[in-house]
Structure 1
Amino acid sequence: MFMGGFMDAEPTPQLPPPARAGTAAVATGRSSDRPILRHATLEWGRPASIFSLRGRLNLRVETRESSAVSTASAVKSVPIATLITDICAKLLSHHASLPSMPAVAARIHDAMASPNWSMRTIATIIKSDLGTTTYLLQVANSPLYAGAGPVRQVEQAIARLGINSTRHLVMAHAVRSMFVTRSALLTSLMQRTWASSTRLAALSGVLAKHCSRFRAESATLAGLLQDIGVLPILNVLNRYHEQLKNEAQVVGAIDRFAPSVGTVLLTRWGFDADMVEVARSRGNWLRDPQPSADLADVVLVARLHAEIASGDGARNVPRIDAVPAFSKLAFGDLRPDGSLALLHDEEATINDLMSSLGTG
């Protein structure tokens, strides 16, 4: 589901001007139009209440200066989508904190900033975290990277993957591990995001093997990172998990804002421009910034293939042979359903790579 492109969010009224921070009365989300209220403070510091009206969650924002909630107050009701939109806008304006670089990845980054860094230093950092060690060995032994024999030591894995690929893989794995929620909805969205990211990574890596201009490992990492902007959005929404019942609105907000949030996050973390562009171009099917293909084009074609082959939302995306990225890359024939024949032929390799990257 997160394979989709840009979605037009429902038009929503503007939030009223900021008022003095105060305590808000927030509904429990019960079906009655007269909700039982409890106190909470919303992130932007404006008194507000969430209530149900005719089965739809709404956000009521108080416009008076007092922090006390009163029926005499001037109020304005807006859909819950506005809450989500406001949160994403704050992420982009740095008024809400983006996640810091994960600890293991930050230690690797700091170590590599030293002119005296060595593979042994990087391996020692990785081995300090069992989950990261296991993940890196799995990827190094995957079909995409497999060499003459199995890799059993972290140092061997780094040598096979390359230092930059190692750093990016550690980052992707660590970011995924940062997300914790009590919300069944957000947990489901997180799991589906990671599953779609690993499939996108596998498809991108296999496509790059058929195109001499790009390294398969770089394309795999690009596919794994394209949805990175989803995670900060889910993390912030987790604070309001009791009010988030409408999955379609959450997904719409993710599809609208994930490219921009991902761009800001990868830029802040010091990723190369080509990886940042991959995040920025998420679902932008008709992008055509230059005559020659770039890494973002490979991931875009892989994403479009996944969308068409799955049948989910395929009516809302263009044909693969209608997008500029496809015309720049020699990826062969299409099947009757419009998906790429070569990727169907490589399905066993794709599934093995997904398993190595971790689909759950």
Structure 2
Amino acid sequence: MAGQDSLPLRRLKEFQPLNRLTDDQLVLLASRAERRTHSPGQRVVQRGVRDGLDFFLVSGKVELESVDGRKSVVEAETEKALTPIARLQPRMYDVTAVKPCEFLVVEQDILNQLLRSAPVAQVEMDSGESADDGETEEHHLLMEFYAELRSNQLKLPSVPDVAWKVRRAVDREESTAAQVASAVSADPAMAAKLVRACNSPLYRGFSDVRNVREAVVRLGMRTTRQLVTVFSMREVFKSRQASLQKEMEGLWRHSREVAALAWVLADHATNLNPEEALLAGLLHDIGVVPILVQAEHHINLFADPANLRHVIGELRADVGTAVLESWSFPAPFLDAVRHAEDWSFECREDAPQLVDVVIVAQMHSMIGTSQNAELPPFDQVPAYRRLGELELNASRSLQLLTEARARVDEVQQLLSIR
């Protein structure tokens, strides 16, 4: 069922990327958009369909179900509803109304045309001067880049096959250690890494394990699943192009450092699973990977490093969330990716979450670097204060990480297993 009334501009500007459009563009968009309503139980979007539409949830609640049966809920006027629902095409989810829902439905081609001519936020140049790129070639190239992202031409990395199979095996309630070990052993290199990890200082028992099944039994299925995903991520941060590989190596080193710090913080200062924190830290910048790959096709735009930094800053959260959505990762990981560099973010959950640990790990990784000056005081960061409820204050924090440096090094060595 479709409605004709337009939403007020104030409401339209709450959605991303509609907030990049001018008032005149929003008026034009609203005149070309549809308002649709759905009753509880009605299908909104069907998995596998490529319809070329963006669905913005104006009111109500919907349930998303992925191909492997994972379900999540999105409610209007919450963080998850700021961007189009199940926006990847072909659709990765079945979307069903849980409460009476209203959507603003926009053709992606129309939105992309408007985004190409939308003004770009002013960028601070290396000289310290601001430049309005409104009429420059860089502006048009940047808008093309955004449009490619919007229309899903930006190629997202695939979850490595062995990680997917092991996750599926672990998620089946009836799976045994032998079956999970069999899924791991399908990739001999991964099997060897898991056994070496199990015999590393982090997990070593009274005696070394000799095979994958013994490793799965000692580690437990949940830790096995996380470690297999962690080890498989190294392949995602690779490129065949030399210039791009240098950027990827730097990104991997930073991600590895944040992951190690997240493991230690989770283990010492929260009740979170350290391996989940490790994985969240490793994935916090996953959105930068497809941006770097796409940047190779826009040499003129990214010859200036300031432009590349600007685009990464603008898009890393959206693209990273899209990657993890396509990999069917649960909501806590998506939150960690979306808000990893949002120092003011405050989680609604009572207990510390993965996003809190990743934010604090990020801050610690920047101490002593050129980015140190950009950091706010630790005690003004909500994520840090939330960990502070577990007796983590500024001096204790540095003391903890100093004392745990050996553990950080052990985690780094774990991530370096070949």
TM-score normalised by L of structure 2:
0.60
2:325 aligned counterpart, secondary structure: helix
Aligned residues: 286
1:294-309 equivalences under 5 Å are 294-308=353-367
The separation in 2 between residues aligned to 1:267 and 1:173, in whole angstroms, is: 20
Aligned CA distance change for structure 1 residues 217 and 149 (closer, same or farther; 3 Å): farther
The separation in 1 between residues aligned to 2:237 and 2:262, in whole angstroms, is: 25
Q: 1:13 Cα deviation (Å)?
A: 11
The separation in 2 between residues aligned to 1:159 and 1:83, in whole angstroms, is: 53
The one-letter amino acid paired with 1:334 is: A
The one-letter amino acid paired with 1:263 is: T
Match of 2:322 among 234, 246, 264: 264
Aligned position for 1:140: 198
Q: What does the per-residue CA deviation read over 1:237-276, in whole Å, with 9 as the maximum and x for residues that have no partner? A: 3445697433343233223322211111112211121112
Aligned position for 1:106: 164
Aligned position for 1:284: 342
Matched, 1:190 2:229: no
Aligned position for 1:341: 399
Q: CA RMSD in A?
A: 3.2
Q: What does the per-residue CA deviation read over 1:169-205, in whole Å, with 9 as the maximum and x for residues that have no partner? A: 3334334314543444321211111111111111111
Aligned CA distance change for structure 1 residues 82 and 281 (closer, same or farther; 3 Å): farther
Identity in percent: 32
Aligned position for 2:235: 177
Q: What does the per-residue CA deviation read over 1:11-66, in whole Å, with 9 as the maximum and x for residues that have no partner? A: x999xxxxxxxxxxxxxxxxxxxxxxxxxxxxx9xxxxxxxxxxxxxxxxxxxxxx
1:196-211 equivalences under 5 Å are 196-211=254-269
1:289 aligned counterpart, secondary structure: coil
The separation in 2 between residues aligned to 1:92 and 1:100, in whole angstroms, is: 18
- Contact 1:123–1:155 (CA<8 Å) still a contact in 2? yes
Aligned position for 1:131: 189
The separation in 2 between residues aligned to 1:144 and 1:82, in whole angstroms, is: 50
Match of 1:250 among 308, 331, 346: 308
The one-letter amino acid paired with 2:407 is: T
Aligned CA distance change for structure 1 residues 317 and 154 (closer, same or farther; 3 Å): same
- Contact 1:333–1:341 (CA<8 Å) still a contact in 2? no
Match of 2:288 among 217, 230, 238: 230
The separation in 1 between residues aligned to 2:169 and 2:257, in whole angstroms, is: 31
Q: 1:116 Cα deviation (Å)?
A: 5.1
- Contact 1:185–1:247 (CA<8 Å) still a contact in 2? no
- Contact 1:199–1:354 (CA<8 Å) still a contact in 2? yes
The separation in 1 between residues aligned to 2:332 and 2:243, in whole angstroms, is: 33
1:340 aligned counterpart, secondary structure: helix
Q: What does the per-residue CA deviation read over 1:127-168, in whole Å, with 9 as the maximum and x for residues that have no partner? A: 232332233234333444333333342223323333233333
Aligned CA distance change for structure 1 residues 149 and 241 (closer, same or farther; 3 Å): farther
Q: What does the per-residue CA deviation read over 1:200-225, in whole Å, with 9 as the maximum and x for residues that have no partner? A: 11111111122242222222222122
Aligned CA distance change for structure 1 residues 292 and 167 (closer, same or farther; 3 Å): closer
Matched, 1:78 2:140: no
Aligned position for 1:27: none
The separation in 2 between residues aligned to 1:179 and 1:295, in whole angstroms, is: 22
Aligned CA distance change for structure 1 residues 333 and 114 (closer, same or farther; 3 Å): closer
- Contact 1:126–1:132 (CA<8 Å) still a contact in 2? yes
The separation in 1 between residues aligned to 2:140 and 2:178, in whole angstroms, is: 50
Aligned CA distance change for structure 1 residues 236 and 157 (closer, same or farther; 3 Å): farther
1:210 aligned counterpart, secondary structure: helix
* Runs of 5+ consecutive residues of structure 1 not aligned to the other structure: 1-11, 15-43, 45-75
Aligned position for 1:31: none
Aligned CA distance change for structure 1 residues 356 and 179 (closer, same or farther; 3 Å): closer
- Contact 1:141–1:151 (CA<8 Å) still a contact in 2? yes
- Contact 1:123–1:154 (CA<8 Å) still a contact in 2? yes
